Amino acid sequence: MNTNEIVSIFARLKPEPSWSFAGTTTAQTGYITHSYHRYPAKFIPQLAARLISEYSEVGDLVIDPFMGSGTTLVEAKIHGRPSIGVDINPVAHLITMAKITPIEPNYLDSVVAEIENDLNSDYTGQLMLFDDSRTDEYGINHERIDYWFKPEIKRDLGKIYMLLNDTQSDDIRNFLLCGFSNILKNCSIWSQKSTKPTRDFKKKIPEPIPIFLRQIKQMAKRNRKFYQLLKGPGYLEVPASAYCEDARNLPAKSDTAQLIVTSPPYVTSYEYADLHQLTALWFGYTSDLSEFRHRFIGTAYHEEKPANLQSETAEEIVADLNKKNPKTACEVATYFTEMLETFSEMRQVLKKGGYACIVIGDTMLEKVDIKNAEVFVEQMQNIGFQIERLIMREIPSKILPQTRDKKTGRFTKSKDADFLAYPHEYILVMQKT
């Protein structure tokens, strides 16, 4: 199938209402562990569940090379499919580890009660004095943390953080640190209404200890439901493995996976580094935000590399961008080159006849349409995939704003935006030939 035929197919696509999940409530999209932690632009579990059900069987291996907050892995587990997920973002890895790990509910309740007792007693005052030696020991004596947190709030957060790090069990520690991570924005002077890193010096900041205890109690209730949901059909021991790795280096043997379900980053994925900086700084994942941005596929901070696009559409997009902004053209060329590398790795781990389901939307940079979906189909076809099905779905809601600035392509406030981002997206169902 040539480029013109692919373009023609996309031109004829119409939204398929059943894939929009328009009537799905927030309670439904956040059921069991899915609402442990906020995460930008994650796809809803109902979407992952439907793809898993339609393109795999119980016992089949499911992989998500861009696992984000672990939606695919959670849904694979409750559907009886072993799963593997990777993400270069250590914050995503922590959240996923917490979400995919069912903990015996009564035991977890006892741990939460013990944490509450410690935080509400003299334990924190006597054993965990927030002095320079303790802050240095735990790596939280950082100017960027001081930039976001008032001294008295940082002191209370420090007490919680040090207590959690003294927890011996990895599963319990991940659970508690996930909860701690999710309260950081509320406890900082980061503007509550903004997804961008903007300070609000008039923001009313809650006391950290009560809000943390409320967070982990809510999580414990969701863990109980998750545990019971898995226990019924006997899926508690279905393996789900998460790795902090590059999508171009999947920890799976060749020809072993039946299905890939993933939503790759967009060319502006450096936004994830900015959005997750509070957790990254507190947990010592980075001490340099600029270095942290360099890790992500699609970042504007990668060095130029020779372009290998394998897509006429991608070449046209890069050429159009080059006339307006050579730097942006280079970034997009690097992005498509790196995505092609991930598609090659996906093909390597898939069984013959296995499926890769890619959820992606188009966007715009420098007033040039970035036709991600068409490029991806062309690239995948050129390395040994064939089209099984292309689905257009309308997006009733997103966690990130749906508005963008046309010039930069970045998310922005509605009042500053000049077009709607992602009114629809595509599900590319590609089969390994």
pLDDT in tens, 70-84: 999 999 999 999 999
pLDDT in tens, 84-129: 999 999 999 999 999 999 999 999 999 999 999 999 885 555 444 4
* Residue 26: how many other CB atoms lie within 10 Å: 9
Token readout for 10 is 């996309």
- Mean pLDDT, the chain, whole residue set: 89
The pLDDT of residue 421 is 57
Contacts 24+ apart (CB under 8 A), 149-158: 149/187, 149/188, 149/189, 150/189, 150/205, 153/187, 153/188, 153/205, 153/208, 155/130, 156/207, 156/208, 156/209, 157/184, 157/187, 157/208, 157/282, 158/128, 158/130, 158/134
Top mean-pLDDT range of 29-43, 50-64, 406-420: 50-64
Residue 426 β-bridge partners: 360, 392
Query: How confident is the model at residue 125, as a pLDDT?
Result: 54
More confident residue, 240 or 422: 240
Where is average pLDDT lowest: 37-51, 185-199, 215-229, 260-274?
Answer: 260-274
Q: What is the pLDDT of residue 167?
A: 83
3-state SS class at 99: helix
pLDDT at 275: 86
pLDDT tens for each residue of 399-420: 344 444 555 555 455 444 444 4
User: Percent of the chain beyond pLDDT 70?
Assistant: 87
Residue 140's pLDDT is what?
73
Say how far apart CA 301 and CA 317 lie, in whole Å.
Answer: 20
Any idea what the Cα angle at residue 398 is, between residues 391 and 95, rounded to 5°?
A: 100
pLDDT mean over 54-59? 98
Q: Where are the beta strands (DSSP E) in 366-417?
A: 368-370, 385-394, 403-404
Domains of the chain: 3-91+243-432 (3.40.50.150), 105-229 (no CATH)
Provide the pLDDT for residue 401: 43
Mean pLDDT for the stretch of residues 199-214: 96
Report residue 397's pLDDT band, with 50, 70 and 90 as the boundaries: low
Average pLDDT over residues 238-256: 97
pLDDT score at 266: 86
Tokens of 25: 């409530």
Task: Give the per-residue pLDDT at 289.
Answer: 78
- Per-residue pLDDT, averaged over 51-71, amounts to 98
Q: Give the tens place of pLDDT for each residue, 207-219.
A: 999 999 999 999 9
pLDDT at 231 over 60: yes
Each residue's pLDDT tens digit, 135-179: 555 557 788 899 999 999 999 999 999 999 888 899 999 999 999
Is residue 310 left, alpha or beta, with left meaning phi > 0 and alpha meaning psi from -120 to 50?
left
115/176 Cα distance (integer angstroms): 10
pLDDT at 295: 73
pLDDT band per the 50, 70, 90 thresholds, residue 427 = very high
- Give residue 293's pLDDT band: very low, low, confident or very high (50, 70, 90): confident
Average pLDDT estimate for 286-300: 71
* The pLDDT value given to residue 399: 38
pLDDT (0 to 100) of residue 214: 98
| Structural contact between residues 387 and 381, judged by C-beta atoms closer than 8 angstroms | yes
Q: Are 153 and 129 in contact (CB under 8 A)?
A: no
Residue 254 sits at φ, ψ, to 5 deg, of: -60, 145
- What pLDDT shows up at residue 40? 84
The Cα 231–Cα 319 span in angstroms is 55
Sequence-distant (6+) residues with CB within 8 A of 224 are 105, 108
